[in-house]
Structure formats: structure tokens, C-alpha cells
Amino acid sequence: MTDPDDDIAALLGDLVRTLQDLQGEVEPRTADGRPRPPTPSELVRFTSDVTIPAAILVLKTNIEALKLLRRALRLADGRPSTASSGGDVQERATQLSRATLARLDDALSDLQGAVEGRPPDAEARELLTEARQLRASLAERLAESESVAGDDFDGEGTDVPVDVDAELRSIKDDMDDPTGDEE
């Protein structure tokens, strides 16, 4: 039969490696320890997924606002509006509002996932799941070890809690801190 301490040490080693992999995924570093600049493919993906759609949305919103301003100026001047009916303007405004709200819902869902620790990257999600499984397995082993140690030493076991979520928050805080350790 294997020694429970060896099993715990192996699980702890796996957990440390998984957390390091997760940190590398979330916060890639260069050889000298500085944060790695984004790769060209990451910049292209960010531009195509975020920047361009955001710019298009801003431009569409500005165009619609200018059209509404033009109509308001015509009405204030006493000239007829170029729109066929008030219902058409209302329908377009409703469609624009729905599209904006849908995009806002998507952005909020992404933000909520990030806050709750669900990274959008599949590999990071997989590493996070693996880290949580290893943490649970390690907690089980420690509990077993404590019960055995408690029997052997009249209840004098040591408690070594491992809080992966706290570690992940710490990593995130380090990433979000603009003043960082770099000098």
C-alpha cells in the first residue's frame, strides 16, 4: 500500500503544475519575467472580435442620431420629414434598441463569466477545471491523512487548506495591478 503522504505530495505537485500552467495561460511572460506582448494573431483576433464590431456599432449609432437630428431640424423649421411615417422611425429605433441590448447582454455575459472565473479561452477553462479537481482530490487526501494522524497522535493533526479560488483571485489582482513589480 502506498504512503498517504506520498499521494498528497504527488497531488500537491500536480496542483502546483496545473496552477502554473493556468497562470501561464492567463498571464504569459517573457524569459526575463515581464508580461509578453500580444502576438500578431492575438491582436488580429481582438481587432476582428471586439474593435471592429464596436467601431461599426458606434458609427451606426452616430448615423441614426444624425438622421434623427436632421428630421427634428426639418420639423422645427416647418418642413415635412423625409420619413414615410412616424411608425417607420419608431420601428427602426426599436430595432436599433434591440440590437444594442443584445450586444450589451453578450458583453455582460462575458464580463460575468470573467468575474466568476470562467475564462473565455477553452484551454484556460480546462486548466481551471483540472485545478479545481486536483484541489478537491487533495482536500480529500488531507482529510484522510488528518483522520489517520488524529488516530495516531490523539487528534493532533495539522490542517493545510489549499484555496485555489483565492490563489486565482491573487493572480488576477496581480494582472490587473497597473503599478506591478516591474521597474
Three cell numbers, residue 133: 479537481
- For residues 17-35, average pLDDT: 76
- Average pLDDT for the chain: 75
Answer whether 160's CB lies under 8 Å from 142's CB.
yes
Helix axes 122-152, 164-176, angle to 10 degrees: 140
pLDDT for the residue numbered 183: 41
Q: Is the pLDDT of residue 18 over 80?
A: yes
Q: Is the pLDDT of residue 15 over 80?
A: yes
Q: Is the pLDDT of residue 69 over 60?
A: yes
- Burial of 128 from C-beta contacts in 10 A (0-12 / 13-18 / 19+): buried
Domain residue extents for the chain: 4-176
